Amino acid sequence: MSRLDPPRVSRRSFLSLASLGSFFVAMGTAAVGMLRLPNPAVLPGPVRRFKLGPPEQFSAGSETPFADQNLVLFRDDEGFYAISSTCTHLGCTVARSKDGFACPCHGSRFNSKGSVVGGPAPRPLPWLEVSRAANGDLIVNADNEVPEGTLYRV
């Protein structure tokens, strides 16, 4: 330390620590706020809770593909279930094959209940949550999965 300089103030003085500390806290708070921004608060595009109409319009044993919504709605004797037609491997849309679903991208194959029977897919096609809206229409929520075999009874 030079003999001629003003006496050095220790950086450990209360003022230094407090000001530097509050500076970093402020910057941290600001950073948290700024990092929240890129995460969309509400997703653009149509909602992924699809209203598919009143249940009566689907007969027992029917299978109705909804191409825009990427799902197939089934009704058997006991109730409804919906299977997503988005491949669990890397997101291609599967096509209905003779005895199930086949993915055109990497050759994954699923049976008609969505279970994997071949190819690289790590897990079965998701079963989507079926429910009913307040006015009675069937709703499939593509954001919510349910365990395979879950039936929605009307």
Partner 1 sequence: MKDPSRIYRWLLLVASVVTIVYLVGAAVRENYLAQWRTVQQEYRNILREKATDDRGRELLAKFRVEMKQASIPALGTVDRCVTCHNGVDDPRMTDVPQPHRTHPGHILDKHPVDRFGCTVCHHGQGAAMSFNEAKAEDVFWDYPLLPPEMTESTCVTCHDAEKLPPDQIPLLTAGMKLYREKSCGSCHKLGGRGGVLGPALDNEGAKTKHQLIMTNLKPPHTTWAWQDAHFRDPGGVVPDSLMRNPTVTRQEALALTAYMLSQWKRDVPESYLAADKIEQKYRALHPVPLAGEQVYRQYCTACHGNGTYTRWDKEFNRFIPAIRGVSLISTATPEYFQSNIEQGRPGTQMPAWALHAGGLLPQEIKGVIEYLRSGASGPGAPATPTTAVLTLQGDASNGLSLFLRNCAGCHGMNGRSGMAPEIGNPVFQQAATDEFILRTIRNGRIGTAMPAFQRTEAPAFSDQDIADLLAYLRTLGEAKGQKAIALNATSGTPAGGKP
Partner 2 sequence: MAETATKEFLHNLRALPQTVKDSCFRLGKEPESEREESQATFHNLFLHIHSVRVHVRTLKPTLTFGLGLVATASFLITLITGVLLMVYYKPSTDLAYQSIKDIHFTVSTGRFIRNIHRWSAQLMVLVVLLHMARVFFTASYKKPREFNWLVGLGLLVITLALSFTGYLLPWDQLAYWAITIGSNIANSPRELTDAIGITKFFDPGGFQKRLLLGANYVGQDALIRFYVLHVFVLPLVLVTLLGVHFWRIRKDGGLAKPEDPPGGLAEWGGEKRPVFQPLATKTYGLMALVKGNRPPVNRGPENTVMSWPHLFWAELSVFMVTVAVTLILAFYSDAPLKELANAAIPENPAKAPWYFLGLQELVSYSAFMGGMLIPMIVLVGLALIPFLDRRPGGEGTWFGTSHERSVFWQSLFFACAVTVGMLAFTVNYGWLRNWFPNIHQLWIIAINPGSLFVLIFAAWSLFILKRKDSVRLAAVSLFTCFLIGFTLLTYFATVHRGPNWHFYWWPSQWPVH
| Residues found near partner 1 in the complex (CB under 8 A) | 6-7, 9, 15-16, 18-20, 22-23, 25-26, 29-30, 33, 41-42, 44-47, 51, 131-135
Residues 56, 59, 64, 69, Cα dihedral to 10° = 20
Question: Looking at 7, 42, 45, 135, which residue binds partner 2 (CB under 8 A)?
Answer: 42
134 binds, among partner 2, partner 1, none (CB under 5 to 8 A by kind): partner 1
With contact defined as beta carbons under 8 Å apart, do 124 and 116 qualify? yes
Supply the minimum distance, in Å, between the C-beta of residue 74 and partner 1: 20
Supply the minimum distance, in Å, between the C-beta of residue 27 and partner 1: 9
Question: Looking at 34, 60, 67, 134, which residue binds partner 2 (CB under 8 A)?
Answer: 34
With contact defined as beta carbons under 8 Å apart, do 79 and 150 qualify? no
With contact defined as beta carbons under 8 Å apart, do 90 and 73 qualify? no
Residue type, position 108, single letter: S
Token pair 């909602």 in the structure block, residue:
47
Question: Looking at 14, 39, 77, 134, which residue binds partner 2 (CB under 8 A)?
Answer: 39
Q: Which helix (H) or strand (E) holds 112?
A: none
Choice between 33 and 91, CB closer to partner 2: 33
CA distance 101 to 124: 11
